[in-house]
Amino acid sequence: MSQKSELMDKAEDIADKFLRYGKNVLPHVARLCLISTFLEDGIRMWFQWNEQRDYISATWGCGWFLGMIFVLINLFGQLTGCAMVLSRKKVNVACGILFGIIALQTIAYSILWDLKFLLRNIALAGGVILLLAESKAEGRSLFAGLPSLGENTHKTYMQLSGRVLLVFMFLTLLRFEFSLLQVIQNLIGTTLVVLIAIGYKTKLASLILVVWLTILNFYFNAWWNVPSYKPMRDFLKYDFFQTLSVVGGLLLVVALGPGGYSMDEHKKKW
């Protein structure tokens, strides 16, 4: 066994010990982080009611009434969806609502034409897919003795698509600067997201990426340091909570595992 392989095995052992101690808390933290951007945005709709309504009305020329309907849908849709996820009630319905909010905002705010924000919305959708996969796993655990081949296949596909979509967040963090530090960061980050996408050393790679994204998030998106009257505060807050939601999705990958369509799973059959 090579020295590199031994180092990876030791790192995995440390990660496994951490997961064993935190297995009861980790899913709750993951869900809270994942819905944080919806929760923050729903609350913001209340405090910025007039601004959001007027923005939609002016951008789309739809009038104040439809602008108000847009704000209401976002306000109640996001807060209701978050409450259902946290209470573990009708999670599949909650995920459907949150998917609808992502699609609505992608169109309403013209995110389709902004690659950075589009990739982040795609990554956020990946997190919601993993949330749905987790609810499927919980549902089956209540009927452990019954056949569930179809549901298991669906969950496996959801885990695969969820973790692949999550890595789109990293693409928005790539910076093509000709400095040694930036090149090293890009290489390490790219290696981690490739490992997550193919499902190899998935839990370890996800944990490392969680730590890295969290550090970058608190460093680059420190919105609390910006005065409330500056527009930059809202932009940084939006980035902060979207990144936090992707961190929650990665924590769900850690809690759930990579699923059947992964190298980690196939290794068990070798």
Instruction: Say what the pTM is.
Output: 0.84
Q: Which two tokens stand for residue 126?
A: 């990946």
Q: Which two tokens stand for residue 50?
A: 């007039």
Say which residue the tokens 């609390």 belong to: 224
Closest among 195, 199, 121, 205 to 160, alpha carbons compared: 199
Q: What is the pLDDT along the chain (270 residues), one digit of tens a residue?
A: 456 566 666 766 776 776 777 778 888 899 999 999 999 999 999 999 999 999 999 999 999 999 999 999 999 999 999 999 999 889 999 999 999 999 999 999 988 888 888 888 998 999 899 898 888 765 554 444 444 444 467 778 888 888 888 888 777 776 666 777 777 777 888 888 888 888 888 888 888 889 888 998 898 899 999 998 898 998 899 889 988 998 898 898 888 877 776 776 666 655
Closest among 118, 122, 114, 210 to 161, alpha carbons compared: 122
